[in-house]
A and B are shown apart, each in its own frame.
Chain A
Amino acid sequence: MKLLRMKPGHGEIVLAEGDVEVPEQELELIEAFRRELDAGMWAAVPTETSGGRREAELVKSFGEVPRDAERVIFFPRAAGGEPAAATL
């Protein structure tokens, strides 16, 4: 499993990577996961339904992450955007 984080000016970076079945590696993943949530990030797991539709699942703890998930993507939490003067 990989923990990725979106970053301005860079794209995603790998925060941690490991096998959840290996206790030491799972511990590292859990610690990295907590750090990001404590920093105010949202965590999403990209998924695919049985019908083949792609979507995502927001998770609030490492326990909610499916064990077979390949990656968790962290991104800054949503905030109401600033009104802009000009239109697109």
Chain B
Amino acid sequence: MGLALGTAAVVLVVLLWELARPTLKRTLARVHELWAAHARGGAPTGYDPGRERRAEQRARSLLRSCVSDRDWAMYRDLGFLRVWGGLGGHGRGADASYAYLIYPHKPIVAYVPDTGELLNEYCVAFPDHSKPFGSARLPDSDDVLAKWMALTADERRLVGEANMHLPGRQVDPDRVRRDLVRLRRWERESLPLQRAGDSVRAA
């Protein structure tokens, strides 16, 4: 009787071990990975689906606080920013002989405002090699703000750091032309509203 019970107990233990072994192995491997990441000083490895969204919200707030109300409205409504070129001798502003379109995580596109002719693409990135959350890529609006700050502060330097290509290398020229049409329409429609807003504020 005792021998039978003992044998049954041994068989039970072996069966339970066989059943639990894969789970145990996975758990141990996971603990090992977490421990290795901790030892490397890395960030938490768990995926947080809301993190990128929250990061983008913070980035949008920062962008909004840095650019003018008009530029913010342009980015909010159209998804890109226009920056006037400052190296053409006409000064930076609506009289500039060329301008740039800044898209998030896409090359900066230079064009001639009077004709809509596309000039160049300037491929530039701001990789953070510390990869705090496993990625070197800034949130979209931070990427736009970094380009905006670098362009308005030191256009020549940024253009010098970028890889220059002819239009169409990465950004579809037809899309840019459509965006320029959208921009013109947006300016026609938003200017009266903005003037009305300025009048109300002045009053």
**What size tier do the contact residues of chain B reach?**
35 or more
Q: Mark A26-38, 1 if CB is under 8 A from B, else 0.
A: 0000000000000
State whether the Cβ of A23 lies closer than 8 Å to any Cβ in chain B. no
Q: Taking each of A6, A58, A75, which has the highest tally of chain B beta carbons within 10 Å of its own beta carbon?
A: A6
Q: Which of B148-203 contact A (CB under 8 A)?
A: 148-150, 152-154, 157-158, 161-163, 165, 168-172, 175
Asked if A73 and B170 make an inter-chain contact with CB atoms under 8 angstroms apart, the answer reads: no
Q: Could you tell me how many residues of chain A have their Cβ less than 8 Å away from some Cβ of chain B?
A: 34
Measured CB to CB, the nearest residue on chain A to B164 is A80
Interchain CA distance A56-B55 in the complex, whole Å: 22
* A4 lies within 8 A of chain B by Cβ: yes
Contacts of B68 in A (CB 8 A): 52-54
Set of chain A residues within 8 Å of B128, measured between Cβ atoms: 6-8, 76
A-B complex: 6 closest residue pairs judged by Cβ atoms: A11-B58, A9-B133, A81-B123, A55-B152, A56-B149, A80-B163
Q: Which residues of A contact B (CB under 8 A)?
A: 4, 6-12, 39-40, 42, 44, 46, 52-58, 73, 75-84, 86-88
Task: List 20 A–B pairs whose Cβ atoms lie within 8 Å, in order of A's numbering.
Answer: A6-B62, A7-B128, A7-B138, A8-B139, A11-B62, A11-B139, A12-B58, A44-B150, A46-B66, A46-B149, A54-B67, A55-B153, A58-B149, A73-B62, A77-B161, A78-B124, A80-B123, A83-B165, A87-B168, A87-B169
Residues of B within 8 A of A (CB): 43, 51-52, 54-59, 61-62, 65-68, 71, 92-93, 103, 106-107, 123-139, 142, 145-146, 148-150, 152-154, 157-158, 161-163, 165, 168-172, 175
